[in-house]
Amino acid sequence: MTAVFENEVVTEARVRYMRVPGLAGEIALVTLDNGHDHTRPSTFGPGGLASLDAALDEIAAHTPAPAAIAVTGKPFVFAVGADLSGVPAVTSAGQAREIAETGHRVFRRLKDSAVPTFAFVNGVALGGGLELALHCRYRTIASTAMVAFPEVFLGLVPGWGGTQLLPNLIGIDPAVTVVVENALAQNTMTRAPKAAALGIADVVLEPADFLERSLEWAVGVLTGDVVVSRPEVDRTGWDAAIERARAIVAARTRDASPGALRAVELLDLARDGVGGEAFTAGTAAEDDALTDLLMSDELRASLYAFDLVNKRAKRPAGAPDRKLARKVTKVGVVGAGLMASQLALLFVRQLEVPVVLTDIDQARVDKGVAYVRGELEKLAGRGRLSPDRLNRLTGLVSGSLDKAAFADADLVIEAVFEEMSVKQQVFAEVEAVVSAECVLATNTSALSVTEMASKLEHPERVVGLHFFNPVAVLPLLEVVRAEQTDDATLATAFAVGKSLKKSCVLTADAPAFVVNRLLTRFLGEVTAAVEQGTPVAVADRALDPLGLPMSPFDLLTLVGPPVALHVAERMHEAFPDRFAVGEGLKRMVELGKTSVYSEPSVVDADLEGIDAGDSPLTEEQVRDRAVRALAQEVRLMLDEGVVQAVQDIDLCMLLGAGWPFWLGGISAYLDRSGVSETVTGRRFLPEGVASLPA
């Protein structure tokens, strides 16, 4: 192949011939193994495809011919698809097409084999790994395995037969769910029982003796003792399913993801079936799509984002030596409102240590404790917690009116009203009862952590732990280092964040930190345009070409106008030249409105006139102002040292705001659109880092 992945970890396809009781011939068993444990799943680059091709050549030449060919994986992993780490080595459309065509050619050998083919899906099968399994005639799956097509999430398409084979196996509507809907829902994976129910696998077997049982099942199929029946695919609902797919893409990407749009086109094309010529035409269309997408800036930005989430997020830049972290055996939560209760639930589930909540009256304390216990019971009801674990975790949650309950806590986090004097008083009361080593954390979204700690005897023990709502869903944790925060406190904060299964990013104690600062700046430009006279609907769809997960005013509803107003006021105090406090936002809060809309696309009658200015802007003008503001703010944040590097800003927007991978967080988009250089005089990232090579 002309594209060579210099650092490819090659997945070897090792063949052994197995005699199984009840079968006259042998089964040629191909095991996919890259030589690493499950933490480095098997992938297919040029070397891996060549190894599989050679294995099939060996089997074809074997005498006598085997009765069947079976493919399985190393422990816990079947295969997870293409080796995306090698994509930077693909510098031409010709190389991209060769990779697409080679995958199709090698996998198709299993589909067209005169000898029956089996996939023994012993573990996770993603992307190209699932496509390989679909090329086999029969499939077993371990009960612990999961399958998915994550390509659309990454800005790609299933490009080695998946868009053609899956809908012709399980039907177009379920295929839309697996290929498009699940991928755009943060890459939701399908567990083995559901995969079998859909028809992706033929039988579910237990993992303890999975290979033995799979071989026995295969023998049953080969001898006729096991009959695999698959229902005829209903093609009457194809148009409706494709329309549903288009609606999902429009809602979740604003049609800004080239990969998502191409995936829908390919699924539509699959209606002609997977017979010889139809399958050849369908896979040729996949070749075209994969070639175009691999040679797009959006895909390179997406892989940059993927790398940030999977590597940088696991080794936070600027974090102290983790050996300095103190052990946390009990957690205190000041406050028992919704945010505090969500935090308590997270701590008890992930740390499994005693968690005690306090508040100003017994009714609030009782409500907070009841919320946590109720959520634990819901998890148990869904099979997510065993009865024993439910009882244990429920017993770890308690409430108290007296902060003396924190006396033996190692970490106390406050989640009370966003008022500096209130938070200072809370910390003073807590410091009076806890040990000198107890870490004091704040979940403030905008206030100065340094000022919050300034009146304490030990300000060095205070750190910001800014979680995002909903706490159980969003993976980002901004770890805020105040002026006097010491390394032991900071190391403890990072260790706790990791134990909570959050991705931590270190930030300086700057106003609103990272995510809220950028969201407030960009939302401020949109609301300012409305006050100038831009119709609400025009301003609200102005950012659609970026493909953000929600429109500006949907975001305002999610955040809540009171919170948005609070952050805007803090930012205006800090940077009055760039952050304004909109009159429309004030009016919403005064009237108790949660949204500018009374119903979809209808501005609330009580808010009529908020766009009564006489200088309306077009969508393009609103978008231009917003992205220019983002570029300016990102550069200022870097100059101020708010984060270690622009990669941390991108990581925050990906994980804390849900901004799409094809934006590369935000910096890659600002670079490729030319906004970075126009506004700041230079790019944020070198060419080729989150874009095609120069």
* pLDDT digit string, tens, across residues 388-428: 999 999 999 999 999 999 999 999 999 999 999 999 999 99
* pLDDT digit string, tens, across residues 568-614: 999 999 999 999 999 999 999 999 999 999 998 899 999 989 998 99
Q: Point out the catalytic residue in the list 98, 131, 181, 531.
A: 131
Q: Which three-class secondary structure state does DSSP give residue 229?
A: coil
**pLDDT at residue 534 in the model:** 97
3-state secondary structure 126-154: ECHHHHHHHHCCEEEEECCCEEECCHHHH
Cα separation, 239 vs 577, whole angstroms? 52
Closest CA to 167 of 133, 134, 119, 127: 134
Give the C-alpha distances (Å, rounded to integers) separating 648 from 58, 448, 627, 663: 48, 20, 18, 14
* Statement: the pTM of the whole predicted model exceeds 0.85: yes
| pLDDT surpassing 60 at residue 2 | no
Query: Is 3.40.50.150 the CATH number for 2-306?
Result: no
Closest CA to 462 of 428, 433, 416, 495: 428
Residue ranges of domains in the chain: 2-306, 322-509, 515-622
Query: First and final CA of the chain: distance in angstroms?
Result: 23
Q: Cα angle at 541 between 535 and 545, to 5 degrees?
A: 145
- Mean pLDDT of the residues in the chain: 95
DSSP state letters, 453-493: HTTSS-GGGEEEEEE-SSTTT--EEEEEE-TT--HHHHHHH
Residue 330's pLDDT band, with cuts at 50, 70 and 90, is very high
**pLDDT at residue 203 in the model:** 98
Q: Which three-class secondary structure state does DSSP give residue 162?
A: helix
Other C-beta atoms within 10 Å of 277: how many?
9
Cα separation, 376 vs 390, whole angstroms? 7
Cα separation, 509 vs 538, whole angstroms? 36
Assign a CATH topology to domain 322-509: Rossmann fold (3.40.50)
Question: Please, are residues 155 and 298 in contact by the beta-carbon 8 Å criterion?
Answer: yes
Residue 247's pLDDT band, with cuts at 50, 70 and 90, is very high
Q: Please, what CATH class does the domain formed by 515-622 belong to?
A: mainly alpha
Closest CA to 107 of 59, 58, 44, 170: 44
Instruction: Tell me whether residue 692 is exposed, middle or buried, using C-beta atoms within 10 angstroms of its C-beta: 0 to 12, 13 to 18, 19 or more.
Output: middle
Other C-beta atoms within 10 Å of 492: how many?
26
Cα separation, 432 vs 452, whole angstroms? 15
Q: Return the amino acid letter for 347.
A: F
Residue 630's pLDDT band, with cuts at 50, 70 and 90, is very high
DSSP state for residue 551 in the 8-state scheme: -
DSSP state letters, 565-622: HHHHHHHHHH-TTT----HHHHHHHHHT-S-SEEETTEE-GGGTTTT--S----HHHH
H or E, element range at 85:
none
Residue 369's pLDDT band, with cuts at 50, 70 and 90, is very high
Residues 306, 311, 314, 320, CA torsion sign: negative
* pLDDT digit string, tens, across residues 463-522: 999 999 889 889 999 999 999 999 999 999 999 999 999 999 999 999 999 999 999 999
| pLDDT surpassing 70 at residue 314 | yes
Give the C-alpha distances (Å, rounded to integers) separating 479 from 316, 461, 495, 505, 652: 10, 13, 11, 6, 11
Cα separation, 115 vs 218, whole angstroms? 13
Residues 135, 136, 138, 144, CA torsion sign: negative
**pLDDT at residue 469 in the model:** 85
According to DSSP, the residues that pair with 30 across neighbouring strands are: 15, 71
> For residue 65, what are its two tokens?
């011919």
Q: What is the mean pLDDT of residues 106-135?
A: 98
Half-sphere exposure of 264 (CA within 13 A, CB side): 21
Radius of gyration of the chain (CA): 28
> For residue 586, what are its two tokens?
């004030």
Other C-beta atoms within 10 Å of 496: how many?
27
Q: How far is C-alpha 616 from the geometric centre of its chain's CA atoms?
A: 37
Closest CA to 173 of 43, 318, 270, 282: 270
> For residue 231, what are its two tokens?
């229902």
Cα separation, 521 vs 424, whole angstroms? 27
Give the C-alpha distances (Å, rounded to integers) separating 492 from 232, 440, 441, 484: 58, 11, 11, 15
Listed in sequence order, the residues at least 6 apart from 350 whose beta carbon sits closer than 8 Å to its beta carbon are 499, 500, 501
Tally of residues, the chain = 694
**pLDDT at residue 3 in the model:** 58
Find out whether the peptide bond into 41 is cis, omega within 30 degrees of 0: no
Residue 49 phi, psi (nearest 5): -65, -40
Cα separation, 593 vs 533, whole angstroms? 21
414 annotated active-site: no
Q: Point out the catalytic residue in the list 151, 181, 286, 619.
A: 151
According to DSSP, the residues that pair with 33 across neighbouring strands are: 12
Half-sphere exposure of 74 (CA within 13 A, CB side): 18
Q: Among the listed ranges 81-90, 130-139, 168-177, 516-525, which one has the minimum average pLDDT value?
A: 81-90
Listed in sequence order, the residues at least 6 apart from 565 whose beta carbon sits closer than 8 Å to its beta carbon are 581, 585, 586, 589
Cα separation, 147 vs 125, whole angstroms? 5
| pLDDT surpassing 70 at residue 4 | no
| pLDDT surpassing 90 at residue 110 | yes
Instruction: Tell me whether residue 440 is exposed, middle or buried, using C-beta atoms within 10 angstroms of its C-beta: 0 to 12, 13 to 18, 19 or more.
Output: buried
Find out whether the peptide bond into 549 is cis, omega within 30 degrees of 0: no
58 annotated active-site: no
**pLDDT at residue 89 in the model:** 87
Question: Please, are residues 157 and 286 in contact by the beta-carbon 8 Å criterion?
Answer: yes
